[in-house]
C-alpha cells in the first residue's frame, strides 16, 4: 500500500518536474563581472534584470530564466561557459560579451550547436559575420565614429592624431575616423595605439601634444575611460588648443561625473546618452537608478536591457518555439523603441540599425552629461 502511494507521489513529482522544465526557457548571460571589465558586466546584468523586473518573465506561455555567469573577461572562460550553458543547461540562447575577443571566442560553439548569441557590447564590425548565429544589439565602432569625424570636417579640423586601444574596435574606430576626415579634405598625421591591458596613456598623450594637431580622436573600451580621461585632463590637453574628440565610450555615462570639469565641452558621437530626451529613456534611467543605488546606466546597461527585449520579442514571434535555426530567423527585422531611440535588426546582416547622436559634455542639474545636439538617423554599420 505504502509502496503504491510512494510510486504515485514519485510519478506526480516527476510529472511536475517535467512540465516545469518544458515551461522554462533558459537564457545564458555571460558577462565580465570581475576583472578590469567588471563595470561592463555589472551594467549588462543590471540592464538585463531591470528588463525582467519591468516586463515580467512570461513569454509565449513560457517562463524565461536568466542563468548568469562571470567570464572574468577571459576569452577561454567565455568559450567554456558557452559550451556548458548549451550542453548542460540547454539554454535557448546566450548573450552578454563585454569585449570583442569574448564574443569572437563563442562563434565556433554557436555555429556548431545552432544556438543564437545576442551581442550586448562587443563592437568590432566583423564579429557578426563570423557566425550565422550572431545577432548584435549594441553598436559598431565605424557606426559610432563616422558622425564625430563629420563634425571634425565641419569644424575646420585639418590635421588629427588618433589614439585607440590596440585591438579590433580601436582599429575599426581609428580607420573610420581617418576615412571620413580624409574624405573631407583633412589628414590623420599619426595613428597611436595603446595596449588594451594595463595601459599607460602618458607617453601617447605627450606625443599627441607635441605633434600639435587640430584634433585628437580617442577610443578605449568604456570601463577604461576614467583612466584615460584623467590623464587627458591632467596633461591639460583640452586647454592646449587641440580639440579632443572621440566615440562616446570615452565620456562613459557610468564614469563621466568622476572626470570633472576638465571634460566640459568635449564632443563625441554615440548611440546612447543617459540624457537622451524621450519618455522611454526617462523611465529607463529612473528605474535603473532606483534598482542600482543611484548608479547611472550607460550604453552597456541599455545593451543589457535591449538584449533581453530582443530575446523576448524573438521568442514571442515564434510562439515559444526556441529551436535555434527558427529562433535566429525571428531576430531578423525586429524593430522597437529603445531608451536610446528607434532601433531595428537588419535582416541581411543581423546587425543593429540605430540613430547616432553628436553630443557635447555639459553640466546640467549639477551633474555632467553628454548632451545630444545632432542626430544621424537609422545608421547601419558603414562597412
Residues that bind ligand PHB (CB under 6 A): 99-100, 121-124, 169, 221-222, 249
Strands 335-338 vs 267-270: parallel, antiparallel or unpaired: unpaired
Task: Using the minimum distance from each CB to ligand PHB, give the nearer residue, 228 or 233.
Answer: 228
Residue 97 or 369: which CB sits closer to ligand PHB? 97
Sign of CA dihedral 49, 292, 287, 229: negative
- In the complex with ligand PHB, which residue's Cβ is closer, 220 or 327? 220
**Which H or E element spans position 4?**
helix 2-23
* DSSP code for 72: T
369: β partners: 362
Q: State whether residue 152 is helix, strand or coil.
A: helix
Summary count for the chain: helices (H), strands (E):
12, 15
Nearest approach, Cβ of 102 to ligand PHB (angstroms)?
Answer: 8
Could you tell me the smallest distance in angstroms from the CB atom of residue 99 to ligand PHB?
A: 4
* Strand ranges in the chain using DSSP code E only, listed in sequence order: 24-31, 58-59, 62-70, 93-96, 117-119, 134-136, 159-165, 187-194, 215-219, 243-247, 267-270, 335-338, 341-345, 352-364, 367-379
Nearer to ligand PHB by Cβ, of 99 and 110: the residue is: 99
Position closest to ligand PHB via CB: 221
Q: How many other β-carbons are positioned within 10 Å of the β-carbon of residue 113?
A: 19
The CB-of-96 to ligand PHB minimum distance in angstroms stands at 12
* Helix, strand or coil, per DSSP, at residue 317: helix
Instruction: Report the candidate in 154, 144, 219, 142 with the shortest Cα–Cα distance to residue 185.
Output: 154
Q: Which is nearer to ligand PHB, 107 or 169 (CB)?
A: 169
In this complex, which beta carbon is closest to ligand PHB, that of residue 125 or of residue 322? 125
Going by C-alpha positions, the residue among 48, 130, 160 that lies closest to residue 96 is 48
* Beta-bridge partner residues of 142: none
Q: How many CB atoms lie within 10 A of CB 323?
A: 12
Nearer to ligand PHB, 123 or 186 (CB): 123
In the complex, least distance from residue 355 CB atom to ligand PHB, rounded to whole angstroms: 18
Between 249 and 381, CB nearer to ligand PHB: 249
**341: CB partners within 8 A, 6+ apart:** 276, 278, 354, 355, 375
Least distance between ligand PHB and beta carbon 306 (Å): 15
| Rounded (10°) CA dihedral 239, 244, 248, 249 | -90
Q: Which is nearer to ligand PHB, 72 or 159 (CB)?
A: 72
The 3-state DSSP class for residue 199 equals coil
Amino acid at each position: 500500500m505504502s509502496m503504491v502511494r510512494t510510486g504515485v507521489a514519485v510519478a506526480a513529482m516527476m510529472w511536475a518536474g517535467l512540465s516545469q522544465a518544458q515551461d522554462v526557457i533558459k537564457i545564458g548571460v555571460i558577462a565580465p563581472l570581475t576583472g578590469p571589465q567588471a563595470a561592463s558586466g555589472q551594467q549588462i546584468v543590471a540592464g538585463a534584470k531591470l528588463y525582467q523586473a519591468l516586463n515580467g518573465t512570461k513569454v509565449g506561455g513560457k517562463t524565461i530564466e536568466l542563468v548568469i555567469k562571470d567570464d572574468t573577461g577571459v576569452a577561454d572562460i567565455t568559450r567554456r561557459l558557452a559550451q556548458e550553458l548549451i550542453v548542460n543547461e540547454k539554454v535557448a540562447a546566450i548573450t552578454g560579451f563585454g569585449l570583442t575577443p569574448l564574443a569572437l571566442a563563442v562563434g565556433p560553439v554557436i555555429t556548431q550547436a545552432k544556438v543564437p548569441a545576442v551581442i550586448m557590447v562587443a563592437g568590432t564590425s566583423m564579429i557578426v559575420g563570423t557566425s550565422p548565429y550572431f545577432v548584435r544589439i549594441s553598436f559598431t565602432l565605424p557606426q559610432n565614429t563616422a558622425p564625430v569625424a563629420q563634425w571634425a570636417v565641419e569644424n575646420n579640423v585639418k590635421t588629427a592624431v588618433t589614439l585607440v586601444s590596440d585591438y579590433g574596435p580601436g582599429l575599426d574606430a581609428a580607420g573610420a575616423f581617418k576615412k571620413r576626415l580624409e574624405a573631407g579634405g583633412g589628414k590623420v598625421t599619426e595613428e597611436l595605439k595603446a595596449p588594451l591591458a594595463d595601459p599607460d596613456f602618458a607617453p601617447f598623450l605627450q606625443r599627441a601634444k607635441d605633434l600639435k594637431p587640430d584634433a585628437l580622436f580617442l577610443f578605449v573600451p568604456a570601463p577604461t575611460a576614467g583612466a584615460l580621461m584623467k590623464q587627458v585632463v591632467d596633461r591639460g590637453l583640452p586647454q592646449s588648443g587641440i580639440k579632443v574628440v572621440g566615440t562616446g565610450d570615452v565620456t562613459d555615462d557610468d564614469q563621466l561625473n568622476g572626470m570633472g570639469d576638465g571634460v566640459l565641452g568635449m564632443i563625441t558621437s554615440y548611440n546612447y546618452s543617459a540624457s537622451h530626451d524621450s519618455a522611454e529613456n526617462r523611465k529607463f534611467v529612473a528605474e535603473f537608478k532606483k534598482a542600482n543605488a543611484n548608479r547611472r546606466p550607460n550604453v552597456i546597461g541599455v545593451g543589457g536591457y535591449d538584449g533581453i527585449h530582443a530575446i523576448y520579442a524573438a521568442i514571442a514571434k515564434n510562439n515559444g518555439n526556441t529551436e535555434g535555426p527558427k529562433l535566429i530567423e525571428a531576430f531578423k527585422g525586429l524593430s522597437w523603441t529603445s531608451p536610446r531611440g528607434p532601433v531595428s535588426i537588419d535582416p541581411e546582416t543581423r546587425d543593429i540599425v540605430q540613430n547616432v547622436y553628436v553630443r557635447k559634455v555639459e553640466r546640467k542639474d549639477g551633474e555632467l552629461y553628454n548632451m545630444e545636439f545632432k542626430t544621424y538617423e537609422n545608421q547601419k554599420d558603414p562597412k
